[in-house]
Amino acid sequence: MENRCLSNAIKVSRRPPKGGLSLTGLTLIELLLVVVLVGIVVGVVGLVFRQSLDTFRIGEAEVSLQRVAQSIMEEMIEGTDKVPAMREALEVSEATETSLGFIPFWMDSYSDYREDSNEFTLSREVKPGSSLPIGQVKIPNARQFSSMPTIFIMGKVRNPSLPDDKVRFINPIPKGSNVRILFCPDASLDDSVIMRYYWDNKLKRLFRRYNGKTEDIIRYDHKVKVTNFKFSYYDNLNRQIEAVPLASGVVSSSSYHPNLLSAIGIEFSLERDSIKRQLSSFVSIRTLGGNLGTGIALSEGTELNIPDSAHIRMLVLDNISGIEEGGRLEIEISSSLSSTWKISIDFGLVNQEPYITGFNIEYPKGTIAYSNNNKKPVKGGLNLLKSGNDYYDYDDDINIEDIVKIEGDSAKFKVLKMNIGAAAVFVRP
């Protein structure tokens, strides 16, 4: 009896303790179920996190591509304080599908100028036939530069190592002023004045070379690659010029001539982290340097396509230099639908100053229709739309029964003879 009571006393109660918790633990199935549920939760959270991370990376890549694309376009087309703009191109020296070389205005600048002399020796030689250098001054406390009258003195020695072209300001320059002189440099003597853009297909990068320095256009995000790049070109009649690259890298085409270019198309594709973006733009360089244009430099044999008599509003010869006694310039304009118009211009010296001493107009070619022997300084140029007494000049005048009418989709302007130093023609459709 006593042993039975002791045995009953030491039996462990199987009733759950207060609170309802069992001390028997979890079964294997319950553990596996917990593991599966935790895995599902972790997987869902990881998937959401990865999607959020991917969305962030895509957004970051798209923002970066947009920023780089805008930066490329703005820097090439509009330029910066230190990089001349493509819009300011005075002359195109190279034009292929993947490279472009052009000559922008060169600028000599002087800060806080305090010298007594108003004469400056230019750092580069001025291109013969280009417009005269432009002198600008910003006096102390002024907000912007103002153009000042100047005299250009062409040097006697064409030596890029010892440039001797000079610009003299007519009026005194106030002490402490900032001075700058803009001019068209002679790239034939120094090719460092050519700004060149080119795409490297192997590296997938776009480079610029100017003034002896080569730099990558994409400077802020080297994860961005330029996967495709193309320049396209248009003449002064807005017709696309088909460029055929040669082994030398220079464009060859039956209609190609660098001076014919009036507009440039830019197309390129960017890629970053498998995200792609395409961009294109169109740059007009018809003004050839804007209001400071140099026109199209002429030489014997130069051929240009220009608008016909009914669709032209400017045809002017200017920037004439290198005149000696007996100088002559002969130009003809022809089309397949009309007779050929020819003008022969004579040059000479009057009191040692260069003058146009007269000109003859032939229409049709071989028959002198108009002569003018009035002398005029070459600095005023010669307007070919107003040089033939209205009846024999090139354009189609309103309310006048013109005798000269060159008709057709385009007319060919050709320099037959030129024994003067330099001249340029300004053409506007």
What 3-state class would DSSP assign to 232? strand
Q: What is the mean pLDDT of the chain?
A: 82
8 Å CB contact between 428 and 237:
no
Q: Which residues of 365-376 are buried (b: 16+ CB within 10 A; e: fewer)?
A: eeeebbebeeee
> What's the rounded mean pLDDT across residues 80-90?
83
Q: What pLDDT shows up at residue 293?
A: 45
pLDDT tier at 247, thresholds 50, 70, 90: very low
Q: How many CB atoms lie within 10 A of CB 349?
A: 14
Q: Examine the pLDDT at 391 and tell me if it is beyond 60.
A: yes
pLDDT tier at 49, thresholds 50, 70, 90: low
186-190, 280-284, 329-333: which is most confident = 329-333
147-176 confidence digits (pLDDT tens)? 899 988 888 888 888 999 999 999 999 999
Q: What pLDDT shows up at residue 411?
A: 86
> What's the rounded mean pLDDT across residues 208-230?
89
pLDDT tier at 253, thresholds 50, 70, 90: very low
> What's the rounded mean pLDDT across residues 201-218?
92
| pLDDT > 90 fraction of the chain, expressed in percent and rounded | 35
Is the pTM for the entire model greater than 0.85? no
362-375 confidence digits (pLDDT tens)? 998 999 999 999 99
Q: Examine the pLDDT at 359 and tell me if it is beyond 50.
A: yes
Return the half-sphere exposure (C-beta side, CA atoms, 13 A cut-off) of residue 187.
23
Average the pLDDT over each of 111-125, 279-293, 378-392 and give the range with the smallest value: 279-293
Q: What pLDDT shows up at residue 304?
A: 82
Q: How many CB atoms lie within 10 A of CB 159?
A: 11
Closest by CA to 88, choosing from 342, 284, 351, is 284
Where are the chain's structural domains? 66-102+191-284, 106-183, 298-428
Q: What pLDDT shows up at residue 44?
A: 77
pLDDT tier at 295, thresholds 50, 70, 90: low
